[in-house]
Amino acid sequence: MRIVVDVTPLSHPRTGIGNYMLGMLQGVAEVAGDRHELVLFAPTGPRNMRRVRRALAGVPGTRRLVVIPPPSNVWRKLWSRLQRMPVERFVGGLDVFHFSDWMYPPQRGGLRTTTIHDLIPLHHPEWAGRRTQALHVPKYRHAAKTCDLIFTNSRYTADDVAETLGFPRERLVVVYPGIDPLFSPHGPAADGNYVLAVGTVDPRKNLERAEAAARLAGLELRVAGPTGSVGFVSDEQLAALYRGARALVFPSLLEGFGIPVVEAMAAGTPAVVSSHPSLDEASGDAAVRVDPESPEAIAAGVRRALDEREALVERGLSHAARFTWRACGEAVLAGYEAARG
């Protein structure tokens, strides 16, 4: 197969979706070997194109990186909205086109696929900025109308897409994220008597209650993320923060999967996690589950995590070992192959 993947989200600093995309590409490339051709496609401005090239440096595949004048997001929006000029004009013939959250250009043939990470901007517009809604909600609607196959990173999200968008459940494929081997118990650990939260500072992440819970438990709360107390950190720094933390505190009100939960477990750190069902798959039987709306319940969960640390770490390491980018790549390719018949 000739598989074209739109990698435009890699043109900005990577957070959850960008990390998932890069890991998925690495997994697909590893599994595909010489059997399939992976084509990496991105139209973006010259400054952001440098970031795309750096991100893809270790991913084998054919590059089709097209520099377009700023503001490149306007061109991508028009291409998606007008549905003119098929993507084959830039990448040649294809068997699969996997489009991103950032644009959904037309294609002449082949499978049409995408990944939906969650439907949060649709269900809770109050948690998403106007730009996020304008970017994601039309993509959801378009994907439901045009895709042969949609991937999600949890069963919870797959069921939500089927119910909310009316997309056939049998054409939804769950592809769990992988964990970088960097996240392991072995390596430097940050100093301090703290619990760690990971993510952007927005109402959905519920960090005010996490901070109140940390105070009740007599611990510092450190927040790793673009606008958190620690700020945006490298993967190496994040791994050290996980290892040094007494526990991860993840009281999110809704997630597509919840990758920091599994990263913390892989690093040998117990996780205190919201009881919302969207986090069931990330948590498995290895997390302390708490009512995310109660700082007292979160604090009690932290104290339990400290008391049961040894057993939780053991279960967490076993649970996290299931999540690899190779397994992600295998699931993606199996989905493409099954859909092609």
Residue 228's pLDDT is what?
65
CATH ID of 2-178+324-340, from 3.40.50.2300, 3.40.50.2000, 3.40.50.970, 3.40.190.10: 3.40.50.2000
Q: How many helices (H) and strands (E) does the chain have?
A: 14, 12
Residue 72's pLDDT is what?
86
User: What mean pLDDT comes out for the span 26-41?
Assistant: 95
Taking the CB of residue 141, how many other CB atoms lie within 10 A of it?
Answer: 13
HSE toward the beta carbon, residue 213, CA cutoff 13 A = 32
Taking the CB of residue 81, how many other CB atoms lie within 10 A of it?
Answer: 12
Return the CATH superfamily for domain 194-320.
Glycogen Phosphorylase B; (3.40.50.2000)
Local structure of residue 288 (DSSP, 8 states): E
Strands (E), 45-148: 62-67, 96-99, 111-115
Q: Which of 55-59, 94-98, 322-326 has the lowest mean pLDDT?
A: 55-59
HSE toward the beta carbon, residue 281, CA cutoff 13 A = 20
Single-letter amino acid, residue 195: V
The helix (H) or strand (E) run that includes residue 135 is helix 130-146
Dihedral (CA of 327, 266, 284, 229) sign: negative
Cα separation, 139 vs 158, in Å, equals 16
Unique residue bearing structure tokens 């299931």: 322
Nearest to 205, CA basis, from 220, 238, 227:
227
What is the Cα Rg of the chain in Å? Answer: 20
Burial class (CB in 10 A: 0-12, 13-18, 19+), 4: buried
Does position 229 have pLDDT exceeding 80, yes or no? no
User: What mean pLDDT comes out for the span 236-246?
Assistant: 97
Query: Using one digit for the tens of pLDDT, what is the confidence trace for 101-122?
Result: 889 999 999 999 999 999 999 9
Does position 96 have pLDDT exceeding 70, yes or no? yes
225 — alpha (psi -120 to 50), left (phi > 0) or beta? left
Query: Using one digit for the tens of pLDDT, what is the confidence trace for 128-187?
Result: 878 888 888 999 999 999 999 999 999 999 999 999 999 999 999 999 999 999 999 999
Record the pTM.
Answer: 0.93
CATH 3.40.50.2000 boundaries in the chain? 2-178+324-340, 194-320
Residue 73's pLDDT is what?
85
